[in-house]
Chains A and B, each alone.
Chain A
């Protein structure tokens, strides 16, 4: 077993994300979470692999399918679940909700609801790193559904032109809501877009979290050396619908089952179970994840709600302008 300690850490985080998302889905069905809820189930290896390729002083930005990345970067499950429940103890004080997880301390800059619009934002974060010379790298995640919209193109175009220290990670889960990839885009190999910008690229399937980490590391190091952005397309799958209101009738049950059989989480667990040194840790590890997630539900249930006096100070810094 290579890197047993790291493997256990990665497994714990992937399992934590998986169980967090499953419990969030249950809480949603009980009416404790409202609005939109986009689950990361099946894509955990990307967030966790990425977190292990980045330094704490690097930055991340992602779409509204953001719980996994936030947890992987160090947000507590308490702060996450409380945010989903709309409580003031949530990471965004209950004002953002599922789509707007932000954690400034861990340089997780959202959590964005408008497709593609966060790519120029991420390019701005990378620009600031280059401007100040702080050696930081920014990693921005987007889905296959974001590949065609204007802001995505403008963000990549400027990042490539100015050789910003940024890595663009396309989490290609083959569907943008109900529309399959081949109905969305003329060239389904998304990594080829990099050629148009003269950007480095990579493309692989996310079955092994170590592979995710190692290949993203190449891109991160390239950015840190000042050689400009990389577009990394990672093929993955979400086992649930686009969000809680999606019955996902656009794919067959057989297709979903097939992808579940290739689940990176289960694969890693099997490897850990096969090695004696790590097998012993599994039961305690899994129990601690269950306890952590259960605690986050209790914490969220019992936390108070935000009050109206928060509204003014979170709209403007300083005096409210009307």
Chain B
């Protein structure tokens, strides 16, 4: 009975072909393996030979037609049979000269899509990634040492590494680092600066104390040097009227029965001000500027050997009291060397306060990858002008160091203006 014959695969890679010549006419009888037509494929002109014995009743794809695999090309059957209803829509006509095969296009488009650069993960999604983004906290230690540190809760920032390149290795944890290795580490300079030459023979008691670099000192040295070398710093200073703040603190400490520090108040004020001037809560990357929505404040804490900046997370969502308690806890952990890597990384804005050390004003170094750091000075008692009259007043200076690549003067100024507003009318601190 009559049946449709489709274009078969004439070579392993064939997807379509153009019929060059038919070697049989409608009505011809055909035997198995007889040459039906010549078909031009991507590789060569192939012979389309018959798989069947019978009569070629109708040609559906004439010479010149472009046919895809499986498209109908002819109707076979017994001589004289009808082909009614068997001839589907005719095959496409010969395409215009120079038309490219359609198969190529989709793959090219797909290739272009996949070539688009992937966006880097934001630090909030992968705090540890932020740590290893060449910045802070990534300690060189062998896998075995890391395992021991996990098991024993050790802070590797506290340990000197005597292995290759300063790697912390097992013996450093057991205190069995040989003296030769310690001297070798002490001799290795952190930066390529010339070592100060001391006079040949020093009298007794005048030799310098040589302290090998701890991990923390190495880290501070590296990061802050990088920051000063690579971040274009500029500085904005305001002198805030601290009368209301001073009075609020006195009242809170009397009413709450616990001590809230000036720094606690400033930290909360900063969180509120960021909410109103969020463009300062940002960081620069070579491909983009990242404006953080979360407000994670790095609070500088002085410790034995130097300085650490534990992160107070979601400062905008915490009350003044919560902030005060948390800063206290983090500081204690910092001094006891118990901070985890997660607690020390991923901040979006830093605050450093040297007021308790009697410093009036200073400019801090930005903590990469953050975009700004606020340096807070002491509250000064000095004569001020109020309503045209000189009266005693309290003032507090704060300096914002900004990364000019992401925070411009106007942006920094706007933030400081909002901060001043909050600090000079400080009930907003407890109300937020």
CA distance A22 to B52 in the complex (A): 10
Chain A proximity mask over B42-59: 1 for CB below 8 Å, otherwise 0:
001111000100000000
- B44, A31: Cβ atoms closer than 8 Å: no
**Nearest Cβ on chain B to A315's Cβ, whole angstroms:** 27
| Interface segment, one of A80-88, A133-141, A239-247 | A239-247
CA distance A18 to B238 in the complex (A): 98
Task: Take A22-B32, A239-B33 as given contacts and tell me if A31 and B47 are in contact as well, using a CB distance cutoff of 8 Å.
Answer: no
| Smallest CB gap from A31: residue in B | B9
**Nearest Cβ on chain A to B385's Cβ, whole angstroms:** 86
Chain B, interface SS category:
loop
**Nearest Cβ on chain B to A64's Cβ, whole angstroms:** 16
| Smallest CB gap from A245: residue in B | B11
Contacts of B46 in A (CB 8 A): 247
Residue in B8, B12, B35 whose CB lies within 8 Å of A245: B12
Chain B proximity mask over A228-245: 1 for CB below 8 Å, otherwise 0:
000000000001100011
Contacts of A239 in B (CB 8 A): 33
Chain B proximity mask over A253-285: 1 for CB below 8 Å, otherwise 0:
100000000000000000000000000000000
CA distance A200 to B296 in the complex (A): 93
Interface residues on A, range: 10 to 19
CA distance A225 to B45 in the complex (A): 53
Using a Cβ–Cβ cut-off of 8 Å, how many residues does chain B contribute to the interface with A?
13
- A25, B51: Cβ atoms closer than 8 Å: yes
- B10, A29: Cβ atoms closer than 8 Å: yes
Contacts of B10 in A (CB 8 A): 29
- A26, B8: Cβ atoms closer than 8 Å: yes
- For window 201-249 of chain A, which residues contact chain B by CB distance below 8 Å? 239-240, 244-245, 247-249
CA distance A35 to B11 in the complex (A): 10
Q: Find the residue from A31, A244, A247 having the highest chain B CB count within 10 A.
A: A247
- B11, A244: Cβ atoms closer than 8 Å: yes
| Smallest CB gap from A256: residue in B | B33
- A22, B9: Cβ atoms closer than 8 Å: no
CA distance A156 to B144 in the complex (A): 61
**Nearest Cβ on chain B to A28's Cβ, whole angstroms:** 7
Contacts of A35 in B (CB 8 A): 12
Binding site for A on B (CB under 8 A): 8-12, 32-33, 35, 44-47, 51
Binding site for B on A (CB under 8 A): 22, 25-26, 28-31, 34-35, 239-240, 244-245, 247-249, 253
The 21 listed contacts between A and B (C-beta, < 8 Å) are: A22-B32, A25-B51, A26-B8, A26-B51, A28-B9, A29-B8, A31-B9, A34-B12, A35-B12, A239-B33, A244-B11, A245-B11, A245-B12, A247-B11, A247-B44, A247-B45, A247-B46, A247-B47, A248-B47, A249-B44, A253-B35
